[in-house]
Amino acid sequence: MSKPLGSEFPLMSRSMTAVIVAQFLSAFGDNALLFATLALIKQELYPDWSQPVLQMAFVAAYIILAPFVGQFADSFAKGRVMMFSNGLKLLGALVICFGFNPFLGYGLVGVGAAAYSPAKYGILGEITSGDQLVKANGLMESSTIAAILLGSVAGGALADWHITAALMICGLAYAAAVGANIFIPKLAVARPGQSWNPRRMSSTFFSACRTLWADGETRFSLVGTSLFWGAGVTLRFLLVLWVPVALGITDNTTPTLLNAMVAVGIVLGAGAAARLITLKTVKRCLPAGIGIGVVVTLFTLQHSMINAYVLLALIGVLGGFFVVPLNALLQHLGKKTVGAGNAIAVQNLGENTAMLLMLGLYSLVVMLGAPVIAIGVGFGVIFALAIAGLWLWQIKQQRT
């Protein structure tokens, strides 16, 4: 029997445990698959500028499907949506594993991820409530970052050993995630009976976009999270090219270990945010956002492995402290206005548009031969200025 929407659950209920386990396995597969596929395209002698294009194929699915995935998440039990989406990821991994076009396969994984995201975040508002939602987001982010940590390292290390084996393990992770989704109890549908006419769905989605972007609080969250994830995915690819230039190391494992340090930091930052920030004090996260840009600039100038590890961990701490409260704020306000699934879909559109633009710009400057160190310094400075501008803009909004 479906549980009534809005029922109270303890934080680590059966539902939450199943969601966290499924999220860990799914995110593990995403990150291991990325680095295994990067190793594959390096082996097949694709140019350096094509590496960000792999991620662009992934995020393009989020943008194209944005008008539809929010309603999809709100029109079915979210646990079942998560299971279906992980099945699509499994199919994409198999496409790559069996020698088909890696960009096509990773794009299919992106389709699964686009459908998965509104469900995985939207379900948190259905199995928790109030300030418990911030803690639930902390658990979700911690699980995700732990998966990024282990998945990234596993993808690089396994690819150095055997690329096909690495790809097969990614497929097994997705299959296990599908299994974990089965244990999520079937919750009541959030918004049953909505129209499936594509024109009406698009109209509903863009109406949700207007609603969320017109509100100062939700707009603040959307801009902040979009800047963060756009910068985060660009930093990941910057590391792949930075390691051989700054450290003289050319394997697949070292960039994944450095990415893992960011993941470790985000776990710590997310935990701190869950304890120190509530929905009423979200704006306390903004100084951490400025700090990210400053530390990225300092990191880019390093030539020592130890310094690189320390600064990347600090970037992660600042990142976790910055993004977790913004996610919780959007879920809280979005659930009251356009529905949690639609709110996350609007957020995904903003975040993935930012990713696509930043990755496109990064690919362009690499293609033009810009020095990696200069790219990193410019990236850090621009990000710090962007968050500072967001802070000043929010202060101005409050005064008016």
Could you tell me the CA-to-CA distances from 231 to 60, 123, 395 in Å, in that order?
16, 26, 23
Per-residue pLDDT tens for 210-219? 888 887 777 8
Global confidence as pTM: 0.69
The backbone torsions φ and ψ at residue 187, rounded to the nearest 5 degrees and listed phi first, read -90, 160
Tens of pLDDT, residues 363-372: 888 888 888 8
Q: How far is residue 383's CA from residue 399's CA, in Å, rounded to a whole number?
A: 25
Of the spans 121-135, 161-175, 177-191, which averages the highest pLDDT?
161-175
Looking at the predicted structure, is the pLDDT value of residue 311 above 80? yes
Task: Indicate the pLDDT class of residue 13, thresholds 50, 70 and 90.
Answer: low
pLDDT for the residue numbered 176: 92
The answer to whether residue 1 scores a pLDDT higher than 70 is no
6: left (phi over 0), alpha (psi -120 to 50) or beta: left
3-state secondary structure of 38: helix
User: 49: part of which helix (H) or strand (E)?
Assistant: none
Q: Please check the confidence at residue 353 and state whether its pLDDT lies above 70.
A: yes
pLDDT at 278 exceeding the cut of 80: no
